[in-house]
A and B are shown apart, each in its own frame.
Chain A
Amino acid sequence: MKPSPVSNCERRFLLRAIEEGKRLDGRQCYDYRNVRISFGTEYGCCIVELGKTRVLAQVSCELVPPKPSRPTEGILFVNLELSPMAAPGLEPGRQSDLLVKLNRQIERCLRNSRCIDTESLCVVAGEKVWQIRLDMHLLNHDGNIIDAASIAGIVALCHFRRPDVSVQGEEVTVYTPEERDPVPLSIHHMPICVSFAFFQQGTYLLVDPSEREERVMDGLLVIAMNKHQEICTIDSSGGIVLLKNQVLRCSKITAVKVAEITELIQKALENDQKVRKEGGKFGFAESIPNQKITAFKMESAAVDTNNVEEQAEEIITKADPPSEVFANPVLYTPGTAQIGEGIENSWGDFEESEREEAAEEEGEGDATASECQKMEIEGTSIIEETKTDEPILLSDSEEEEVVILQPQELPKKTRAQTNLKQGSTSKKAFIKRRKKKRAAH
């Protein structure tokens, strides 16, 4: 699918609206879109919706040997995928500039800010550590992927539980969830990204740009911060000259937004925890609101499968037994094969010369005397054929050349007849030539 471009009128319209302090979705300049968090049935699985932008995150873990440079630290691996379902221009498995940039930003936000205590992921120093893998998929692209992904990433990491392990001497035991309750990761703080879009060389500023706004913006500033107002990363896309007071203003806005989002995340996590403890229903099915007109739910439905055995028997008895007649291939003459029963070969018999050749091939050491006879036989057969008034199909290209070069002396004669005559004469000549050739051999 090809990406859809933004038309000039659309661009002008958007920019003029921004100059007037209006946004297409009715938000104010500093408004953030609604954030909705829903959890799956497994631990470490969540979907975060930022307006219409949607990101799916899943955390998984495995025991691996640590990096030689850091033998006592676990590994955090972060990967964001731009699924082709998110927007028409995205291709699967392609490392586009946007994808590389986003992955690097997420990595800096989550890994380099040391929000996860990697030392607690060490099982046996220098031998076994936990590798935590965070997979994120962009499901719907409506702008501000980085904010949605950073929220989804940190929520999934907070929600995740790894299997409990115990070390006794050299032996490492990994307990299943039935044996021992899985343990959560130890998380120091929650870094959250907030994006600012700049227009008209930094004159106008919008928080949380939508997809359309991102396409007409001049520059982007991303600030990652935790609720203690510690800046984790700052990333400016370039393209605009940022002033000192602008960065300061943006970081103040970030502090407010991060406090709001952190509170929401904690509430969502607590809610899910409570439902799981009480044994209530949880998972994505529960997060679809019942009153939504586009959603429909069906309770577990019984299917009558009591008569399937009778039905199956009926079908099998009705079915024809497999046919056991197999066609025998018939070989009439050496060199021709035929498949099927009693079917005549429609390709016609051998031409005389071919038969001759075949015979020659069979008895290669024959005396040359018999060839004279053969020539005679051929001559008669050609005469016979002329009587039937049928054109002979001459297979040799040499002979056809002769036909073309021969001037037509008698226009009254039909073409077939001339052909025949020439054919017969040239054929004889041809055979003679061939004889000479053979003698030379």
Chain B
Amino acid sequence: VAMELWGYRAMGGSCLRPFSCELGPLSRPDGSAAFLQGDTSVLAALYGPAEAKGNRELPERAALEVLLRPKTGLPGVGERSREQLLRRTCEAVVLGRLHPRCAVSVVLQVVADGGSLLSCCLNAACMGLLDAGLPLASLFCGVTCALHPDGSLILDPTTRQEQEARAVLTFAIDSAEKKVLMASTKGACSMEEMQQCIAAAQSAADTIFQFYRDSIRRRYSKS
């Protein structure tokens, strides 16, 4: 099977690394999920909707907070900017108006970084939201595309592929209309390449949403 996939990758197609997901691995949080994409692994935990602390409370909707914890050292500027991207994406789908004056906090812990970290964070956050049972307008998934110097497009790249790539683009795609909720790019690419990456991310999103659906189905297969 592996040889077939390598062949497929060489033909100009691309493939996602093996995915695994565990729902509710932690006992304390209201919702938690471990998401693994190849060697990349992120653990997400969610608390809330609960009473907001201090001045964080918003009168008309729930205050969402995203914390990204690196594996070694203290969180820096990179983590803070990723936190903002993740928070905006979550805010786009969480129906916060149903929980006014409440706080929801999503904590993401990087367990292993083997490339496509931001998309793995997005997937873990969405699974965490699903496990907590928060009302959502739609689901979202993260897809990372890397543009190789020879012009080929690689989906879900490893760290090495990311380092070799000319540009790395990460998109958050929503499940309802396959629209782009968030885009973050590193490196230079043309307009055509960007559109190609979005189209590829949208078709990869189908596979990821099917994975979401299957894992949730398995989770609730015995009731």
Contact = CB atoms under 8 A, between A and B. Distances in A.
A137 B69 contact: yes
B107 A284 contact: no
Contact of A296 (B5, B21, B39, B155): B21
B12 to A, nearest CB: 6
Contact of B112 (A42, A294, A304): A42
Interface stretch (A83-91, A109-117, A394-402, A431-439): A83-91
Interface stretch (B24-32, B85-93, B161-169): B24-32
Contacts of A308: 153, 196-197, 199-200, 203
A417 to B, nearest CB: 48
Contact of B155 (A58, A141, A303): A303
B127 to A, nearest CB: 10
B28 A302 contact: no
B26 A139 contact: yes
A141 B28 contact: yes
B-side interface mostly: mixed
A299 B20 CA distance: 9
B20 A296 contact: yes
B46 to A, nearest CB: 9
Contacts of A249: none
A205 to B, nearest CB: 25
B1 interface: yes
Contact of B13 (A285, A297, A304): A304
Interface in A288-310: 288, 292-309
B20 A86 contact: no
Interface string A1-35: 11000000000000000000000000000000000
A197 to B, nearest CB: 19
B72 A135 contact: yes
Interface stretch (A311-319, A332-340, A407-415): A311-319
A309 B147 CA distance: 13
A280 interface: no
Most chain B CB neighbours (cut-off 10 Å) among A93, A292, A297, A301 = A301
A54 B199 CA distance: 40
A316 to B, nearest CB: 6
Contacts of A142: 27-28
A292 B192 CA distance: 44
Given A83-B109, A140-B28, A305-B200, A1 B16 contact: no
Interface string B5-46: 100100011111111111111111100101010010101010
B109 to A, nearest CB: 6
B218 interface: yes
Given A56-B109, A293-B222, A1 B22 contact: no
Interface in A265-291: 283-285, 288
Interface string A50-86: 0010101010100000000000000000000101111
B100 interface: no
Contact of B107 (A42, A60, A83, A302): A83
Contact of A285 (B1, B41, B222): B41
Contact of A283 (B13, B32, B39): B39
A45 interface: yes
Contact of B48 (A1, A40, A60, A288): A1
A92 B65 CA distance: 12
B53 interface: yes
Interface residues of A, number: 55
A296 B196 contact: no
B55 interface: no
A296 to B, nearest CB: 4
Contacts of B114: 41
B95 interface: no
Interface string B196-213: 111110011001000100
Contact of B111 (A81, A141, A284): A284
Contacts of B72: 58, 60, 133, 135
A143 to B, nearest CB: 11
A123 interface: no
A221 interface: no
B214 interface: yes
A288 B34 contact: yes
Most chain B CB neighbours (cut-off 10 Å) among A83, A85, A293, A315 = A85
Contact of B15 (A45, A295, A303, A311): A303
A47 interface: yes
A139 B214 CA distance: 26
Contact of B27 (A52, A58, A83, A133): A52
A93 B74 CA distance: 8
Contacts of A316: 191-192, 195
A293 B221 contact: yes
Interface string A204-228: 0000000000000000000000000
A302 B5 contact: yes
Interface of A: 1-2, 40-42, 45, 47, 52, 54, 56, 58, 60, 81, 83-88, 92-93, 133, 135, 137, 139-142, 283-285, 288, 292-309, 311-313, 315-316
Given A135-B71, A296-B20, A316-B191, 14 more contacts: A2-B51, A56-B109, A60-B72, A141-B28, A293-B219, A294-B23, A296-B218, A297-B18, A298-B20, A300-B17, A306-B12, A309-B192, A311-B196, A315-B199
11 contacts: A84-B105, A85-B107, A87-B28, A137-B109, A294-B22, A294-B23, A295-B22, A296-B20, A297-B20, A303-B16, A311-B199
Interface of B: 1-2, 5, 8, 12-29, 32, 34, 36, 39, 41, 43, 45, 47-48, 50-51, 53, 67, 69, 71-75, 103, 105, 107, 109, 111-112, 114, 153, 155, 191-193, 195-200, 203-204, 207, 211, 214-215, 218-219, 221-222
